[in-house]
Amino acid sequence: MSNLPLSGARLWDSLMEMARIGGTPKGGCNRQTLTPEDAEGRALLARWGEAAGLTLTTDRLGNMALLRPGRDPARRPVAIGSHLDTQPTGGKFDGVLGVLAGMEVMRALHEAGVETEAPILLINWTNEEGARFSPPMMGSGAAMGAFTEAQVLDTTDPEGVRFGDALAAIGWRGAADPAALRDLEAYFELHIEQGPILEREGIPLGIVTHALAQQWFDVTVRGEDAHAGGEMAHRRDSLVAAAILVEALERIALESGGDGRATVGRIAVEPSSRNVVPSVTRFSVDLRHGDEAALDAMAAALRTRAAEVAAARGVAVEVTPFWAFPQTPFDPALAEHLREAARARGIAHRDIPTGIGHDAVYVARQVPAVMLFCPCHGGISHNEAESVAPEWAEAALLVLGDAVVATAGIVRT
Ligand SMILES: [Zn+2]
């Protein structure tokens, strides 16, 4: 356990101060990426960083990196990161908790005058949310080589504004190469769970061991349109066939064991007329699992059921892959540092996967990375009602701080 003066109260005050920027009447936040509110939030973080003796570098995508030097010039930084941007009707904690807990670790080190062997770096990634500019996790994705810088800069928002122009307009286009952020010894990200498991089990801390693999599909069911007044017997109703498949997908996920998930989030029928049997139904499928083989089996089960339903209903069913994301393991040694820190503080914890994408998932492609989860009430997130108990935030802060310092190494004098 470190003797750092890590303060849950100071972290909470900072969370509340940051939440005033883009604060909404219902108590949430609208601090979307590359807006004036984002600029204001960044400026506040920069001021806090200056007060804690940190040196700020901003890269060409607006990723902010605040450095505290270490004693050993040969060691690369141990980083703590997350994001300050929010959904249009977001909460006070999604992303922000991770960045400001990192800032609290920096303040505690500064206040105690502690020197670490490795440098410590705090990162605020640009556009994690993907609400204004899609896809999400652009800053971390480009830094880690998942997208090119040009792809990110040329992305446009729904109003046609270019990412690069919006970044320049708010004054946060820096000169550094985003790829420099690959040069890290380790990466830690604290995030709210955005799910109900930890609160339900009364466990204040999750050690995130891996991110689920994902496979997304487009499914098209083609039958035949007919008058709604016609007989039932010989219909080739594409929507009824799709409904059977939607129900089957729920069963496929439940029977896949462990952390299997299947979601149909979008559906459209043609010709979409009140008194016409729909000839075409299109829907999206999002499959996730912590085990690649189990995920492949879920996808195979979808194809098998699709063929069965097609034969039984006299329709054609086409299942087309849309996007896939591999299972991402986090670093076992860093996860063990988190468990050791939790044990030393007497904080109950459990291992947990993440079914949701985070900056850490891209970072893990290049750097040993790990995440820790803080519970959130009711699992509610991407919502103005998102809330966290101050004692949960404090427990996560203590474990984060101790594990980061243990990784970086304290200089004993
Ligand atoms: Zn987030």
* Ligand 1 center to 128 CA (angstroms): 7
pLDDT in tens, 355-398: 999 999 999 999 999 999 999 999 999 999 999 999 999 999 99
* Ligand 1 center to 86 CA (angstroms): 8
* Ligand 1 center to 188 CA (angstroms): 14
CA-nearest of 69, 66, 60 to 80 is 66
Phi, psi of 25 (to 5 degrees): -55, -30
The conformational region for residue 357 under phi > 0 = left, psi -120 to 50 = alpha, else beta, is beta
Radius of gyration (C-alpha) of the chain in whole angstroms: 24
* Ligand 1 center to 181 CA (angstroms): 19
Whole-number pLDDT of residue 2: 83
* Ligand 1 center to 85 CA (angstroms): 8
DSSP letter string over 144-175?
TTSS-HHHHHT-B-TT--BHHHHHHHTT---S
How far is residue 227 CA from its own chain's centroid?
Answer: 46
* Ligand 1 center to 167 CA (angstroms): 20
Please give the C-alpha separations between residue 145 and each of 29, 179, 408, in angstroms, as whole numbers.
30, 7, 25
Amino acid found at 281: T
Helix (H) or strand (E) holding 13: helix 8-19
Whole-number pLDDT of residue 413: 66
Whole-number Å distance between alpha carbons of 404 and 399? 8
Intervals of the chain under pLDDT 70: 413
* Ligand 1 center to 124 CA (angstroms): 11
* Ligand 1 center to 306 CA (angstroms): 35
* Ligand 1 center to 203 CA (angstroms): 20
* Ligand 1 center to 96 CA (angstroms): 8
Whole-number pLDDT of residue 378: 94
Please give the C-alpha separations between residue 372 and each of 94, 211, 352, 391, in angstroms, as whole numbers.
13, 12, 9, 15
CA-nearest of 377, 33, 41 to 193 is 377
Amino acid found at 184: L
Amino acid found at 285: V
* Ligand 1 center to 193 CA (angstroms): 9
* Ligand 1 center to 358 CA (angstroms): 6
CA-nearest of 175, 103, 145, 134 to 397 is 103
